[in-house]
Amino acid sequence: AQKITQTQPGMFVQEKEAVTLDCTYDTSDPSYGLFWYKQPSSGEMIFLIYQGSYDQQNATEGRYSLNFQKARKSANLVISASQLGDSAMYFCAMRDLNGSEKLVFGKGTKLTVNP
Amino acid sequence: ETGVTQSPTHLIKTRGQQVTLRCSSQSGHNTVSWYQQALGQGPQFIFQYYREEENGRGNFPPRFSGLQFPNYSSELNVNALELDDSALYLCASSYGQGMSGYTFGSGTRLTVV
């Protein structure tokens, strides 16, 4: 069974600094996708970044990058130059790319950006 | 392009009642998934609909059921509500396999009393 573990219930960062949110995963499938979502207090899950298990390079999207270490089964999210609007819950999720349609989510990390 | 819209945004129901939640998928998307997010937890997959057929189901009892319509909008129905059904219900749409991410709505917050 697939599992996502986020060990940081809460993180604090100063505005304009970088922060890393941890995510480890467990799966026996060789083909999978890893996602990060941001959930502000409004409830909407906002897609940030995607990494496929066969992608050779780490994914980047603007200020977001994914530090993908396949052997360690980790997919940490790095947010550079934090902004006050980055304060939210962040969820790591995984999808098996061979038939299963579901996303499996971790419990999330609450990020607070301080001015 | 319009995003995913869900209705209602909030509702309160009594234990034992039935509820219907609605979701309009993003323009161009043909697949809809539903998730339940309990307080302080990550979302849990309920089921997915593709071309009006259920296309995968999570570990939820049969009293959770759904529909997808020809315009790709969807409904989630929950019968015989229990207190533990209180949660944020999220709808997500995608085109096909959703490899690059699903587009989520803002959710319906259901409280069962």
**Full 3-state SS string of chain B:** CCCCEEECCEEEECCCCCEEEEEECCCCCCEEEEEEECCCCCCEEEEEEECCEEEEECCCCCCEEEEECCCCCEEEEECCCCHHHCEEEEEEEECCCCCCCCEECCCEEEEEC
- Report pLDDT for A66: 97
Which segments in chain B show pLDDT lower than 70? 1-2, 96-101
* Tokens 């759904």 belong to residue: B66
Nearest Cβ partner for A102 among B56, B101, B103:
B56
- Report pLDDT for A53: 92
A23 vs B: CB within 8 A: no
Distance from CA of A61 to the nearest CA of B (A): 12
Pairing of β A88-96 and β A103-105:
antiparallel
- Report pLDDT for B97: 57
- Report pLDDT for A100: 65
A9 vs B: CB within 8 A: no
pLDDT one digit per residue (tens) for chain A, 115 residues = 789 999 999 999 999 999 999 999 999 888 899 999 999 998 999 999 999 999 989 999 999 999 999 999 999 999 999 999 999 999 999 997 766 678 999 999 999 999 9
- Report pLDDT for B94: 86
- Report pLDDT for B99: 57
Whole-angstrom distance, CA of residue A46 vs CA of residue A112: 17
- Report pLDDT for B1: 56
Instruction: Look at residue A71 and give its three-state secondary structure.
Output: coil
Q: Which residues contact A77 (CB under 8 A, 6 or more apart)?
A: A20, A21, A23, A36, A48, A49, A64, A65, A66, A67, A90, A92
CA angle A11, A1, B87 (to 5 degrees): 55
* Chain A residue closest in CA terms to B100: A50
